[in-house]
Structure 1
């Protein structure tokens, strides 16, 4: 009997990948018992290629992805942080993955920028600037000395382990390897946001375009109870194809306008959360308009929702410049308003 080949999904964006992955797992998934309960897993590794990785927002009502958390966690990572307090504001459940309630052992952004004693992203950017055809630009998140344990006492070790960057035809290509990937929550959910934002950031720093994003998942799975809840999602639900003017496809605004000030402005934006969540009048001017026109309105809308002003939150979310994030936030808030009714 010949072993099954590695599965490959070639998708425009994360919405298409989620649909394809769920259908394939339904057809070929093998049920296994895990320490977190029964799961369906693919019998071989899976490689997913995104041709339009900047189309990173999920809209499926059944999935009910929290767009605020997806974006804010990604920016928190890019700032190199590992603190629980800041990111847990947008998802309290994430605290369970901290061993001490203060920091996360395996926080990706901290691994990228601080864990190993130097900033791996700066090193990667310098290398690609120096050697445009390079094949040695590897950013690692897995630290064998800290993560390879004989027991399972750590609550948080990196699932994504390495990132490979290359430049081809003026575009930054990225491959991410993952040891254990939850199809619904991770691979075709939060990870697609985390990593595509990282890819866009690196491309902007190099003053290049964004190429393909390849995700290699050694073990791609979904827990049975969550998988059952996802049945019935519709393949055609992809607003990126109609969000543009006159119902045409939508090209989201850039994450980075001025890469020389982006890192400083990112840290400033992160540190101003207490001001912006409690005031719709507080606006810091930024050279990078994404902070002022997309991230800040999202944060203010979140603050209104947390203060039980759901209608005001929905109204404010309508001011988000990026129409994909705007649509996802309005729909997510509207679903919560309907639950309260």
Structure 2
């Protein structure tokens, strides 16, 4: 396991890229793509509110803003999945096979729990649906988000089963931080550290050259 703790996301990302490029094991994935991979990389960003994308990185501006909105938008927008759809509309109480009576907005559900009890350990959301995800190829990479309030700060922890460190970690972080900021504002606490656990932290071969610059 690799654990990295930094003040900002930019510094964290550079350190993960360096770790994967230096110590990652080369392998071919299910799509026959060559990658370098480290297992169980845990990153703690202590100051998410002052974090920004690395200078010169290709996820910036409006593109990054649109991606952040997807974490809060229940509309699937025609994709196989979006995190906003999985967290706000995908699950619900069933009255029959594949028939939902009430859609479950997990974001509002965790906000309600945190408002009712600021020491709760039950403010957890999931994006993985075993009833369908075990039978299809396009499945969520982020599978769990958990919130804790301690000393009037919101602590956010997210679990990625698989994470493209060079191409996706930055937008993933800012999407998650936008979600965390929304929850913190709703329960009137300060946005605290964000922890991301990447079970498979990997970089694709076509990014090796660019990643090596960092």
Provide the TM-score with structure 2 as the length reference.
Answer: 0.89
Aligned partner of 2:80 in structure 1 is 105
Structure 1 unaligned segments of length 5 or more: list them: 1-5, 84-102, 234-341
Asked if structure 2 preserves the Cα contact closer than 8 Å seen for 1:54 and 1:197, the reply is no
Give how far 1:215 is off: 0.4
Per the alignment, residue 244 of structure 1 pairs with none
Q: Which runs of 5+ in 2 are unaligned?
A: 92-102
The counterpart of 1:210, out of the listed 167, 191, 195, is 191
Report the Cα distance in structure 2 between the residues aligned to 1:11 and 1:206, rounded to whole angstroms: 26
Aligned length: 202
* Structure 1 position 19, deviation (Å): 1.1
In the alignment, which of 163, 167, 180 is matched to residue 185 of structure 1?
A: 167
Q: Distance in 2 between matches of 1:67 and 1:37?
A: 29
Structure 2 residue 147 is matched with structure 1 residue 133? no
Residue 155 of structure 2: aligned partner: 173
The DSSP-based 3-state class of the residue aligned with 1:81 is: coil
Aligned to 1:253: none
Aligned to 1:21: 16
Distance 1:36 1:196 in 2: 32
Q: How many angstroms apart in 2 are the aligned matches of 1:112 and 1:56?
A: 24
Take 1:19 and 1:131, find their aligned partners in 2: how far apart are those partners? 37
Q: Secondary structure at the match of 2:178?
A: helix
Give the match's secondary structure for 2:212: coil
Report the equivalent of 1:80. 74
- Moved >3 Å (runs of 4+): none
- Which residue matches 1:160? 142
Q: Aligned-pair distance for 1:36?
A: 4.8
Deviations 1:62-92 (A, max 9, x none): x332331111121133122211xxxxxxxxx
Name which of 65, 84, 96 aligns with 1:71. 65
Query: How far apart in 2 are the matches of 1:55 and 1:28?
Result: 29
1 or 2 for the larger relative contact order (CA 8 Å, sep ≥6)? 2
- Secondary structure of the structure 2 residue equivalent to 1:217: strand
Q: Could you tell me how far apart the structure 2 residues matched to 1:15 and 1:67 are?
A: 15
- What do the CA deviations read for 1:153-175 (whole angstroms, capped 9, x no partner)? 53x31000010111000011110
Per the alignment, residue 146 of structure 1 pairs with 132
Compare CA radii of gyration and give the structure with the larger one: 1
Deviates more, 1:9-18 or 1:71-80: 71-80
